Amino acid sequence: MLTYPEIDPIIFQIGQHLAVRWYGVMYLLGFFFGYLIIRHLARLRQLPLDGEQISDLLFYVVVGVILGGRLGYTLFYNFGYYVRHPLEILAVWEGGMSFHGGLLGVVVASVVFCLRKKIPILLTGDVLTTAATVGLGLGRIGNFINGELWGRVTEVPWGMVFPGAGSLPRHPSQLYEAVLEGPVLFSLLYLMHRRKVYWGIPFFSFFAGYGLFRFALEFFRQPDAHLGFLWGGATMGQLLSLPMIVAGVAGVVYSLRQKRNA
């Protein structure tokens, strides 16, 4: 068994209400490196985006992540509670964000941006999803530092006892997700860009790849306490990942057919 490195989630604090947290820093690093990756891939794939437009695109993404992530959490994970307490939907500082909801929010926001700027939607999606993998990996590291979203009880040698999760060792599933959703998925998508694959293939491959990784890793991750296991013993994360896999595979097939007909 490994010892969980209890890192203070707060880097430093000013007064009683202003605190700089590792989780927030991970988000900022994700957007910073995302900006650099988008600039690089825009040149590589000849996507007409300059520095100012990339900043505007990231602003749309931030809005999509916050609105979509919060609404997704409200609908998918705690609908009954927020029906009784609707004003608390706005309390994003209390936590509660859904990746799948945030993804839908980003897709909608990005489509609006592309239509307004008259730039290719699928190619923009190819670039944006590739850059997003860095933020996903860093976000999972933030979850690990916070000691949240831990894994199921295990006997593997690298199991850890997380504060607040009982006395039994658990899978450090946040780190599993950080590796697969971050560097592994990024490497796969970046290789597609280097090979100049047809528009849409990296975008839909992101959906399929993330969906597959998340579905598999949910077998190691402890389900949300207020939801538990759902239909057929599946978790909410698995049920939400299945449509991503189907849409991703269908999208890749569509893009390959478009390539043959081009």
Contact 169, 160 (CB under 8 A): yes
pTM metric for this prediction: 0.88
Pairing of strands 18-21, 10-14: antiparallel
Q: Report pLDDT for 75.
A: 75
Q: Report pLDDT for 27.
A: 86
Residues of the chain with confidence (pLDDT) below 70: 76, 79-83, 85, 87-97, 226, 262
How far is the C-alpha of 65 from the C-alpha of 47, rounded, in Å? 23
Q: Report pLDDT for 113.
A: 95
How far is the C-alpha of 44 from the C-alpha of 125, rounded, in Å? 14
Contact 76, 98 (CB under 8 A): yes
Alpha helices in the chain (DSSP H): 22-44, 51-76, 79-84, 99-117, 121-146, 173-179, 185-194, 201-217, 236-261
How far is the C-alpha of 67 from the C-alpha of 92, rounded, in Å? 9
Q: Report pLDDT for 92.
A: 59
Q: Report pLDDT for 90.
A: 65
pLDDT digits 0-9 by tens, 37-56 = 999 999 999 999 888 899 99
Residue 13 DSSP class? E
Q: Report pLDDT for 24.
A: 85
How far is the C-alpha of 32 from the C-alpha of 47, rounded, in Å? 19
Residue 90 DSSP class? G
Nearest 5 degrees, angle CA 31-CA 32-CA 33? 95
How far is the C-alpha of 70 from the C-alpha of 97, rounded, in Å? 5
Q: Report pLDDT for 45.
A: 94
Cα 151 vs. chain centroid, distance in angstroms?
Answer: 18
